[in-house]
Amino acid sequence: MSATGVRAAVTGLGVVAPNGLGTETYWTATRKGISGIGRITRFVPDQYPAQLAGEIDGFDAAEHLPGRLLPQTDRMTQLALVAADWAFQDAAVRPEDLPGFEMGVITASSSGGFAFGQRELQALWSKGSRYVSAYQSFAWFYAVNSGQISIRNGMRGPSGVVVSDQAGGLDAIAQARRQLRKGTRLVMAGAVDASICPWGWVAQMASNRLSVGRDPERAYLPFDDAAAGHVPGEGGALLVMEDLEQARARGARIYGEVAGYGATLDPRPGSGRPPGLRKAVELALADAGASPGDIDVVFADAAALPDLDRIETETITAVFGARAVPVTAPKTMTGRLYSGAAPLDLAAAFLAMRDEVIPPSVGVTPSPGHDLDLVVDRERPAPVRSALVLARGHGGFNSAAVVRAV
């Protein structure tokens, strides 16, 4: 993969998470183990088996974005536009100062602007086709966040959108690194997802992977004997990625680099072949030129389903040894943010490097069946030079990324 000498530095973070709006708010809450999971407020969830979600509170798009953008955007796009603004600010980059063709936007999406889509489907079927919004054609589709971010910030370089369920967030980061290697100066990359509307909720429940727990502190318990599904959330993170040398030349504060990446898809169900997560990890390590001993922490995918947890534990112990590396899942405080989950974990990994501390997983009582050194309930001070982030998607998508200090 390192066919060219370009290294992909991360110089800015924009975080919108259920337990914190803005990078430092999120990080402070995450270090303290404060969860953003609660009973759904966006609609009345009484009739549904699953009733908990990681909702972002206190986000008023009108405070951050021009009024003309509001009617044409879904909530997830509003969140993404604000996350991008914050990432630029954090990187101390004014996009208007850079040539447009030298900046790209690469995001992942899972379901597009689904709440917007529900409203327009309802207009169509309850009132008629003339009542469908002129914005529907582009407000719900998967490419909307990349498009709107590029327009708001004058980014004319290579852009893109990937959809690989929850693994997509890492695939977007890898595609961004690819574009840096081809010569693009800066790429805004990551994902912000949200589909907490009744129609999105019903579609998510169909996966049979949602927790039906009612206690926010006991509903999403990966690697726990009580694991019984996950709590979905909304949000994610966008990262400013730049060619390391150019970032250094402008005196940028550098969080670290995206050093390695690997992706696989599990074999067809029933094939009898082994799952692909381990291969993805091995590819990411090899791509980074790292050995397992170099990794200081693993940010787990943490599906909280017995079979998927077992596969993840087996992968980690096979690659690193039993209890040989600290493992954590701060997403137990946000819920799973679909394609936003992995970019948020990357942001947490960079902040863990900065502050020399591993954020905890909350609420989990690690099962003896999982031979992991799980960081639980309290943060753990530790020098972090390299981290491995894992992300898996429905359908068998496995992606792994290695980030490290520079």
Partner 1 sequence: MSGAYPRRVVITGIGVTAPGGVGVKSFWNTLSGGHTATRRITFFDPSPFRSQVAAEVDFDAELLGLSAQEIRRMDRAAQFAVVTARDAVADSGLEFTALDPHRTGVTIGSAVGATMGLDQEYRTVSDSGRLDLVDHTYAVPHLYNHLVPSSFAAEVAWAVGAEGPATVVSTGCTSGLDAVGYAADLIREGSADVMVAGATDAPISPITVACFDAIKATTPRNDDPEHASRPFDGTRNGFVLGEGAAVFVLEELGSARRRGAHVYAEIAGYATRSNAFHMTGLRPDGREMAEAIRVALDEARLDPEAVDYVNAHGSGTKQNDRHETAAFKRSLGEHAYAVPVSSIKSMVGHSLGAIGAIEIAASTLAMEHGVVPPTANLHTPDPECDLDYVPVTAREWPTDAVLSVGSGFGGFQSAMVLARPDRRNA
Q: State CA 288 to chain mean position distance.
A: 20
DSSP SS3 for 1: coil
- How many residues touch partner 1 under the rule CB under 8 A: the total is 93
Interface with partner 1 in residues 245-284 (CB under 8 A): 263-269, 273, 276, 279
Taking CB under 8 A as the criterion, the residue among 33, 158, 235, 359 binding partner 1 is: 158
Radius of gyration (C-alpha) of the chain in whole angstroms:
20
Q: How far apart are CA 327 and CA 371, in angstroms?
A: 11
Q: How far apart are CA 264 and CA 129, in angstroms?
A: 42
Verify binding: residue 393, partner 1, rule CB under 8 A. yes
Taking CB under 8 A as the criterion, the residue among 159, 315, 328, 361 binding partner 1 is: 159
- The DSSP line for 41-92 is -SS--TTSS--EEEPPPS--HHHHS-GGGSTT--HHHHHHHHHHHHHHHHHT
- Cβ partners under 8 Å of residue 11, min gap 6: 90, 91, 93, 240, 241, 242, 247, 252, 253, 254, 255
Q: How far apart are CA 277 and CA 394, in angstroms?
A: 13
Of the ranges 143-151, 300-308, 314-322, 380-388, which one interacts with partner 1 (CB under 8 A)? 143-151
Interface with partner 1 in residues 17-56 (CB under 8 A): 43-44, 47-49
Q: How far apart are CA 36 and CA 330, in angstroms?
A: 11
How far apart are CB 143 and partner 1 at their closest, in Å? 4
Verify binding: residue 110, partner 1, rule CB under 8 A. yes
Of the ranges 52-60, 129-137, 321-329, 342-350, which one interacts with partner 1 (CB under 8 A)? 129-137
Verify binding: residue 61, partner 1, rule CB under 8 A. no
How far apart are CB 202 and partner 1 at their closest, in Å? 4
Verify binding: residue 394, partner 1, rule CB under 8 A. yes
Q: State CA 186 to chain mean position distance.
A: 20
Question: Would you say 3 or 251 has its CB closer to partner 1?
Answer: 3
Verify binding: residue 332, partner 1, rule CB under 8 A. no
Verify binding: residue 318, partner 1, rule CB under 8 A. no
Q: How far apart are CA 248 and CA 70, in angstroms?
A: 37
How far apart are CB 181 and partner 1 at their closest, in Å? 7
Interface with partner 1 in residues 172-231 (CB under 8 A): 175, 178, 181-182, 195, 198-208
Q: Which residue has the tokens 């979600």?
A: 53
Question: Would you say 287 or 309 has its CB closer to partner 1?
Answer: 287
Do 81 and 149 touch, CB atoms closer than 8 A?
yes
How far apart are CB 377 and partner 1 at their closest, in Å? 32
Verify binding: residue 138, partner 1, rule CB under 8 A. yes
Interface with partner 1 in residues 338-367 (CB under 8 A): 338
Neighbours of 222 (CB within 10 A): 28
